[in-house]
């Protein structure tokens, strides 16, 4: 047995700030034909990005237009992380992110589904609240302003909203004629529809043959489109909603929309409703916090410290050698120059030899006489003796 559907407890007005509106996309979807005749915006995988990838935090789905540079959300992801304050743009000063999986459930009142500590102007789950159509009328009844936030978040076809323009899926039961609708951004509906079909048809609750095979555009002006008075449950800060055709909870049109909601029809298929509600709450895509690397082990820290010390030593040693070379090179050059001058002077002394004075020696006593004879003219004839 599935848990009972959460009941209303409060209403939050003034959800969000203005964003640019766009009129791209569109088409008239028909709930009665399973959504196959509507104009389809395209699945996340058709935007040119990888549609899904598995991770420890659920299956990641490419999600356009998310703030803070994020590019994906995760079905079955945990969400969470630290909320940050937006520093510029239309949402300046408001909180972004931080919403967790247990906090996705709101009530049957638009503006619910915000985690504790957030205001209605924050974006705890990154996604914008839905808007209830361009005309915001149900027959002759005009909806209160808080249900029609198109001036802030653009028309349902606004392709610049996180996840893309609003899309819907029709979900029919096997046990009764109940017709449910799921309404959210393009990425969310494309991600959840196959999960809803698989989970709830497996138990025999959902009629897979008559339920939507693919999402189709929500225009807010077609007679078959879901209505805010049919809302059973809002999720993820009112950025997704499950409705039941014919519920007609007119309390949401009063001046006190957070009053006790109208009771569900007695013959509603509670089993299918509970399955849809549980599956949406468990699998609606959330933006996970940035991946945090695990802390280093003690051995890794010691290795880093030792390596740093060795590196510092080698750096200091290299720097010291370089400093010494720079500092003492001029001195060494001067010493080398002086040594070169000394060598040159010594070489000059060796090349110039002055004549030595003759000194008689015992071994050659006649040397002076011979030298004296050498002074005589070579042609002089000896004189005759007596």
pLDDT tens sequence across 168-183: 999 999 989 999 999 9
Looking at residue 30, its pLDDT comes to: 38
Of 123, 166, 125, 165, residue with least CA distance to 18: 123
Question: Regarding beta strands 72-75 and 84-85, do their DSSP bridges make them parallel or antiparallel, or are they unpaired?
Answer: unpaired
pLDDT of residue 340: 77
How far apart, in whole angstroms, are the C-alpha atoms of residue 23 and residue 13?
A: 25
Residue 287 is encoded by which pair of tokens? 């933006």
Q: What is the mean pLDDT of the chain?
A: 76
pTM given for the model: 0.66
Asked if pLDDT for residue 53 goes beyond 50, the answer is: yes
- Per-residue pLDDT at 26: 32
pLDDT at residue 355, rounded to an integer: 57
Q: Radius of gyration (Cα) for the chain, nearest Å?
A: 47
Dist. CA 162–CA 99, nearest whole Å: 16
DSSP H helices in the chain: 150-153, 186-202, 270-283, 298-351, 367-373
At residue 100, does pLDDT exceed 60? Answer: yes
Taking a C-beta distance cutoff of 8 angstroms, is the pair 224, 243 a contact?
no
Mean pLDDT computed over 349-357: 56
Question: Which H or E run includes 152?
Answer: helix 150-153
Give me the pLDDT at residue 198, please: 95
Mean pLDDT value of segment 212-218: 96
33: how many CB neighbours lie within 10 A of its CB? 14
Query: pLDDT higher for 163 or 368?
Result: 163
3-state secondary structure of 170: strand
Closest to 56 measured CA to CA, from 83, 82, 76: 76
Q: What is the pLDDT of residue 172?
A: 97
Range with the lowest mean pLDDT among 116-120, 124-128, 157-161, 236-240?
116-120
């Amino acid at each position: 047995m599935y848990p009972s559907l959460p009941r209303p407890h409060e209403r939050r007005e003034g959800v969000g700030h203005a964003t640019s509106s766009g009129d791209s996309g569109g088409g008239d979807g028909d709930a009665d034909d399973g959504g196959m005749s509507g104009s389809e915006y395209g699945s996340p995988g058709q935007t040119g990005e990888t549609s899904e990838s598995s991770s420890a935090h659920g299956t990641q789905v490419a999600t356009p237009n998310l703030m803070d540079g994020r590019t994906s959300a995760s079905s079955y992801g945990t969400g969470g992380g630290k909320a940050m304050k937006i520093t510029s743009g239309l949402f300046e000063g408001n909180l972004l992110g931080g919403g967790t999986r247990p906090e996705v459930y709101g009530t049957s009142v638009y503006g619910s589904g915000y985690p504790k500590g957030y205001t209605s102007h924050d974006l705890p789950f990154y996604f914008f609240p839905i808007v209830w159509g361009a005309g915001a009328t149900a027959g002759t009844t005009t909806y209160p302003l808080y249900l029609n936030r198109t001036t802030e978040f653009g028309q349902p076809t606004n392709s610049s909203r996180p996840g893309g323009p609003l899309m819907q899926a029709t979900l029919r039961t096997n046990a009764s004629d109940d017709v449910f609708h799921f309404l959210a951004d393009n990425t969310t509906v494309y991600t959840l529809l196959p999960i809803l079909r698989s989970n709830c048809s497996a138990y025999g609750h959902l009629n897979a043959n008559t339920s939507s095979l693919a999402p189709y555009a929500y225009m807010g002006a077609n007679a078959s489109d879901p209505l805010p008075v049919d809302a059973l449950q809002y999720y993820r800060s009112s950025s997704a909603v499950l409705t039941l055709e014919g519920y007609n909870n007119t309390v949401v049109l009063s001046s006190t929309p957070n009053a006790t909601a109208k009771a569900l029809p007695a013959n509603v298929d509670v089993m299918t409703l509970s399955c849809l509600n549980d599956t949406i709450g468990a699998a609606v895509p959330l933006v996970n916090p940035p991946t945090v690397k695990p802390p280093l082990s003690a051995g890794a820290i010691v290795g880093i410290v030792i390596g740093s010390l060795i590196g510092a030593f080698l750096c200091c040693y290299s720097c010291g050698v370089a400093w010494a070379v720079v500092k003492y090179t001029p001195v060494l050059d001067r010493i080398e120059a002086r040594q070169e001058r000394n060598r040159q002077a010594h070489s000059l002394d060796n090349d110039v030899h002055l004549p030595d004075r003759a000194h008689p020696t015992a071994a050659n006593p006649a040397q002076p006489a011979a030298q004296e004879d050498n002074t005589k003219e070579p042609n002089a004839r000896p004189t005759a003796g007596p």
